[in-house]
Structure 1
Amino acid sequence: MIDFFDNGDAKLYEDRYQLYVNGDYIGDKTLKNMSDNLSDVDSFLKNKGFRQFKSQLEGDHYNIEASTDEAEGISDALFVYVNNR
């Protein structure tokens, strides 16, 4: 059934963010329920031993700036993270 009174303000069932490391697209992080949080990405990276990065949300882009030494490892870890969730 189509709701003709829908003003477009309804929240989507899932929020989706595009992950980037140093400007390179890695994949999408989908928040599927209320307990999911975008900060889970940072926690995941810290649990993997990465410390040389900063993250920033811009619209639906979650940008991670990483040191040259850690960028490739962070990209690889996040690729696995977003494709196994």
Structure 2
Amino acid sequence: MDKFYAFNYMNNNMLPGVIINTSDDYYDVNSHDFFTVYVNGDYMGKKLLLSQSDKISDTVEYLHKNSFNNFTSKVDGNSLYINDDDLKESKHIKDTLHVYLNIR
């Protein structure tokens, strides 16, 4: 449940009268678009699009640059689905995306 706090001048000298939303979702995607990434149906995480030049295809290009070429990808709404029939390679893709999604 979202929590909203209304501050008045007496208890918040810096931002009097400001309402602050403390919901986790608010802070995750408030000012950025994002998409979710799945590999073989497994959720890998969210990729924030931080600038206007960022695109969903950047993630696929990143995998190609890391020598992953035997997979298929599909964009559906704000989700990127990556499928690879080779279980060993899909594990490496998951490991690579885990790092990529957490450092970007």
Normalised by the size of structure 2, how large is the TM-score? 0.67
Q: Match for residue 83 of structure 1?
A: 102
Query: Are 1:20 and 2:35 an aligned pair?
Result: no
Instruction: Give the Å deviation of 1:37.
Output: 1.0
Instruction: Give the Å deviation of 1:61.
Output: 1.5
Instruction: Give the Å deviation of 1:80.
Output: 0.3
Instruction: Give the Å deviation of 1:15.
Output: 1.3
Residue from 35, 43, 46 that aligns with 2:61: 43
Give the Cα–Cα distance (whole angstroms) in 2 for the partners of residues 47 and 61 of structure 1: 21
Give the Cα–Cα distance (whole angstroms) in 1 for the partners of residues 103 and 78 of structure 2: 20
Q: Match for residue 71 of structure 2?
A: 53
Larger radius of gyration: 2
Provide the identity percentage: 37
Give the Cα–Cα distance (whole angstroms) in 1 for the partners of residues 85 and 95 of structure 2: 14
Give the Cα–Cα distance (whole angstroms) in 1 for the partners of residues 31 and 72 of structure 2: 28
- Which runs of no fewer than 5 residues in structure 1 stay unpaired? 2-11
2:89 corresponds to which letter in structure 1? E
- Which runs of no fewer than 5 residues in structure 2 stay unpaired? 1-17, 19-29
Query: SS of the residue aligned with 1:83?
Result: helix
Aligned pair count?
Answer: 75
Give the Cα–Cα distance (whole angstroms) in 2 for the partners of residues 32 and 52 of structure 1: 28
Higher relative contact order, structure no. (Cα contacts within 8 Å, ≥ 6 residues apart): 1
2:44 corresponds to which letter in structure 1? I
